[in-house]
Structure 1
Amino acid sequence: MTEPADDTLAYHKPGDLSAVRAFVTDRAAALGLGEHRAELLVLAVSELATNTLQHTTGGGRVRVFARSGTVVCDVVDQGPLPDLNRHMPAADAVGGRGLAIVAQVCDDVETTAVADGTRVRLTFKL
């Protein structure tokens, strides 16, 4: 993975998740995303970062930046391209809600293979 910039934070272990959430919260506020929408962004990033740590090796990185009236957050790891067209599982299911939640709370979500893994891009309109 490439070296992180000021708008980027790397994470490698479960203990890093609180730093990821704080980083995303601070960046979203600095970029003008309202408190409620920032909480949704943090929820989505937390789900993705947790998946990274549970299902891949090498950790990941989060980048939060502004672009054309939106706040954009990239979560990059070395896992396969996730299927974000999931339906919410049954209430008694043990897992499988994370990616469905991500797809529902963001204005737009796209996945792309990049040179150093997989990027999930989350977009929130300002």
Structure 2
Amino acid sequence: MGQSVRSAPATESTVLPGSPADASQLLDRRFGRDEIAVVRHEVSGRLAAVGLSGDRLQGFVLAVNEVITNVVLHAGGQGRAVLWLAGGSAWCTVTDSGPGIPARYLRPPEMPDSFQVGGRGIWLAHQLCDEVTVATGPIGTTIGLRIALPRRATST
């Protein structure tokens, strides 16, 4: 489970990390507070349709949910989620136009204290995904999540 930090992309047309030109896009939608559950269900349904299932599916969907919830709560309330398949993995990027993540929060997260309020979203993403990337700056943040698909899902 790796993390890299780089400047946020300048425009929506920027090629997203890990998204080759021949990638199979499953979802590209904007969201706000009222669409969190809708995005979660769309991600779940599209990944189930390509063969991700069980704990891996539920974990990845939970990670996506945590990241989109962070956008709504901490980064202006609206964002964009893009989900695609490439290289035997499912990728999801969640982008916002908030002020960026402060440097003190960019190191790999430690397990939150038992009674700590909040602070579990990115930590959970690191536990549940095969890779988590962060691109942040004063014009916004993109969190990238990756999970390997089962072999049968990638042989189509």
In the superposition, the TM-score normalised over structure 1's length comes to 0.85
Identity %: 33
C-alpha distance in structure 2 between counterparts of 1:101 and 1:48, whole Å:
10
User: 3-state DSSP class of the match of 1:123?
Assistant: strand
- 4+ long deviations beyond 4 Å: none
C-alpha distance in structure 2 between counterparts of 1:23 and 1:113, whole Å:
26
- Residue 28 of structure 2 is matched in structure 1 by 8
- Residue 134 of structure 2 is matched in structure 1 by 111
Give the CA deviation at 1:96. 1.1
User: Aligned pair in 2 of structure 1 residues 6, 36: CA closer, same or farther (>3 Å)?
Assistant: closer
Q: Please list the CA deviations of residues 81-110 of structure 1 after superposition, one character each: whole Å capped at 9, or x if unmatched.
A: 462611012111122111111111100011
Contact preservation (8 Å) 2:84, 2:90: yes
RMSD: 2.3
User: 3-state DSSP class of the match of 1:92?
Assistant: coil
Where in structure 1 are there 5+ consecutive unaligned residues?
none
Contact preservation (8 Å) 2:26, 2:46: no
C-alpha distance in structure 1 between counterparts of 2:70 and 2:128, whole Å:
17
1:75 and 2:98 are equivalent in the alignment: no
User: Aligned pair in 2 of structure 1 residues 27, 91: CA closer, same or farther (>3 Å)?
Assistant: same
- Residue 4 of structure 2 is matched in structure 1 by none
Amino acid at match of 2:111: M
1:29 to 18, 41, 48: 48
User: 3-state DSSP class of the match of 1:33?
Assistant: coil
C-alpha distance in structure 2 between counterparts of 1:60 and 1:123, whole Å:
18
Say how many residue pairs are matched.
123
User: Aligned pair in 2 of structure 1 residues 117, 63: CA closer, same or farther (>3 Å)?
Assistant: same
1:41 and 2:60 are equivalent in the alignment: yes
In the superposition, the TM-score normalised over structure 2's length comes to 0.70
C-alpha distance in structure 1 between counterparts of 2:31 and 2:81, whole Å:
8
Where in structure 2 are there 5+ consecutive unaligned residues?
1-10, 14-24, 150-156
Structure number with the bigger relative contact order (C-alpha 8 A, sep ≥ 6) is: 2
Q: Look at both structures and tell me which one has the larger radius of gyration over its CA atoms.
A: 2
Contact preservation (8 Å) 1:84, 1:99: no
User: 3-state DSSP class of the match of 1:10?
Assistant: strand
Contact preservation (8 Å) 1:65, 1:73: yes
Q: Please list the CA deviations of residues 29-72 of structure 1 after superposition, one character each: whole Å capped at 9, or x if unmatched.
A: 22322232111111001111111111111500111110010011
